[in-house]
Amino acid sequence: MQPTARPETVALPPVEPEPAVLVHSSADRRLATEHWLLATHPTPEQARREWSEPGKVALLPLGTLFSAVRLPGRLVLAVAGGKAPSRDVDALLDEVLEGGPVICDVQGPRYYALVPGSTPEKFRQALEEWRPLGVDCLGRGTYLGVPRVDAVEFDPQACASYWSVPMSSAATLCTPLNVARLIAAGKRVLEEAADES
């Protein structure tokens, strides 16, 4: 699978809006996304303060508006054919997850695909098979370190979490089926590599 260009790097031709069509700028969408994410926090101002420090994340509770599927770096990198987080890996995730938002914690590395809040319950049975791979589905009772919505570039010097696939607008999440397909593909690639060695 060849990675495609990230949406924010592609120049699109201007579009003339139809009469009575409301057009939202990317700044408006980022602000709406930030407010939506902050709505999960019991004290949104605290999370906003955490984001004010460069490279820092806000700890947001999971299980209400969204949950997260934790994907170990080796699984994602096996599918992408990469050795470390990179723009190419990000582009592949963007394509495979159809623009669903993903956070990369470069310390692991680990990737977190944001999914609907009910996903941990729906994935309960599949998780038994996925846990040996290092996959987990995080929901109620769990907090996730979420970077600022404008932290969308991998910086190897910063070692900071970033949006591998940025959230395109508020409440836009990964489709659980796409995440499951990514996990299945990673499992297959890792098994094939183990058989060859």
pLDDT in tens, the chain (197 residues): 555 555 555 566 666 667 666 656 788 889 999 999 999 999 999 999 999 988 899 999 999 999 999 999 999 999 999 999 999 999 999 999 999 999 999 999 999 999 999 999 999 999 999 999 999 999 999 999 999 999 999 988 888 899 999 999 999 999 999 999 999 999 999 999 999 87
What gap in Å lies between CA 3 and CA 45, rounded to an integer? 37
Measured in degrees and rounded to the nearest 5, phi and psi for residue 145 equal -75, 110
Q: Which has the closest alpha carbon to 73: 103, 41, 35?
A: 103
The model's pTM: 0.87
**99: domain range?**
25-196
What gap in Å lies between CA 166 and CA 153, rounded to an integer? 9
From the centroid of its chain, how far is CA 161?
A: 11
- Bridge partners of 71, per DSSP, are 111
Specify if 145 maps to a domain.
Answer: yes
Specify if 76 maps to a domain.
Answer: yes
pLDDT for the residue 54:
85
What gap in Å lies between CA 164 and CA 35, rounded to an integer? 20
Specify if 2 maps to a domain.
Answer: no
Whether the CA torsion 52, 54, 59, 65 is positive or negative: it is: positive
Specify if 20 maps to a domain.
Answer: no
Q: How many domains would you assign to the chain?
A: 1
| Max Cα–Cα distance, the chain, nearest Å | 62
